Structures are given as structure tokens and as C-alpha cells.
Structure 1
């Protein structure tokens, strides 16, 4: 093998490695630009807040109850008010589950549990 063949081999290896790095760089740049574009779209989408309801926290004239409070209003509320709201919503959820359970058992013709029967 003549001496100049080693030079040709090394030039080919360096050229192929440079070509590989250029292709890899182009691919990385395209992925980066896609990521930046998607981040911009996500920023645009999440920068718009939904309008707040106008009557939040005001008494409902029909029922006399308060309308649901805005999200984050618990930060400025008293701990006793937050605790009462939590207990009320917890009891409401439990009552809803009990009513669905009673209805489901009635639909299936199953006997009701004593704890599910409303004695009030």
C-alpha cells in the first residue's frame, strides 16, 4: 500500500466525521426550533386567563346560599371559613355518594344497609 493511500483514507475519515457532525447539528437545530415554537404556543395558550364570573361569592337570591368562590380565594379567607366550606362540601359529597348507592341498590333489588336509610 503506497504512502499516499493513508492520506486519502484519513481525509475520507475526517470528511465523513465532519459530514456526520453537520447532519447531527442540523437535526439538533431543527428539534430545538420545534421545541421553541411549541413553548411559544404553550405560553400563548396559558397566558390567557378565563374571565372570572361576575357573581362569585355573592348571595344567590333564590336559595340564600353563597355562589361558589373564586379559585385562590381561600388564601385571603379566615381559617374558620375555609374549614366550614371544606366540611360542607365533604358532607355534600358523602350525601351524594349515599344517594347514588341507595339508588343503585334499589335498581338492582338489593337490600339497603341500615346506615344508608335516611331517618331524618
Structure 2
């Protein structure tokens, strides 16, 4: 094999590797631009508040006040703990009532734990 064939082979290898890197770079750039576009759309979508939060309806005087976001940070820990335990107990009782009703509808036996509190 003549000496100049090695030069042609190496030039071809370098050209192919450069072409490969250019194609990878273009593909990576397109994926990056698509990601940036989707992130921009997501930021626009999530930066706006929902319509209900922008124009709050007048509150009922008899309805309990719903605390605003971040109000628990400045509230006394004892009150927050009490609210947490009260809500937990209410959720537990609601699950028990649904379970008793479901078993009654199916004609199944009730658990003693469920009917002791009824």
C-alpha cells in the first residue's frame, strides 16, 4: 500500500468523525431548543393564578374562614397541631362511615371496631 493511501484514510476518518460530531451537535441543539420552548410554555401556564383565585367570592359570614397560603408559618404550633389532629380524626371517621355503609350495602358482616362507635 503506498504511503499516500494512509493520508487519504486518515483524512477520511477525521472528516467522518467531524461530520458525526456536527450531526450530534445539531441534534443536541434542537433538543435543547425544544426543551427551552416547553419550559417557557410551562412557566407561562403556571405563572398565572387560576381565575377563582384572582376574583375571590365574598365569604359567607357563617362559614369558617379558610386560612391563606403560608398562614401556618405564623400560627401558634399548638393550634396547628390541634387542627391537624382534628382533621385526621375527621378523615378517619369519614373512612369508617364509608366502610360501614359499603359493607352494609354488600350484606357483609361489620367489624366490631366499626360498630362499637356507631
Superposition TM-score, scaled by structure 2 size: 0.79
Query: Unmatched 5+ residue regions in structure 1?
Result: none
Name the CA distance, whole Å, in 2 between partners of 1:24 and 1:119. 68
Name the CA distance, whole Å, in 1 between partners of 2:91 and 2:44. 36
**Residue aligning to 1:105:** 103
**Residue aligning to 2:83:** 85
Alpha-carbon offset, residue 41 of structure 1: 1.5
Give the root-mean-square deviation of aligned CA atoms.
Answer: 2.5
**Residue aligning to 1:18:** 18
Structure 1 residues 112, 4: CA separation in 2 closer, same or farther (over 3 Å shift)?
Answer: closer
What pairs with 1:43-58 in structure 2 (closer than 5 Å)?
Answer: 43-50=43-50, 51=53, 54=56
Q: Larger helix proportion, structure 1 or 2?
A: 2
Moved more, 41-50 or 83-92: 41-50
Query: Unmatched 5+ residue regions in structure 2?
Result: none
Superposition TM-score, scaled by structure 1 size: 0.78
**Residue aligning to 2:30:** 30
Structure 1 residues 60, 100: CA separation in 2 closer, same or farther (over 3 Å shift)?
Answer: farther
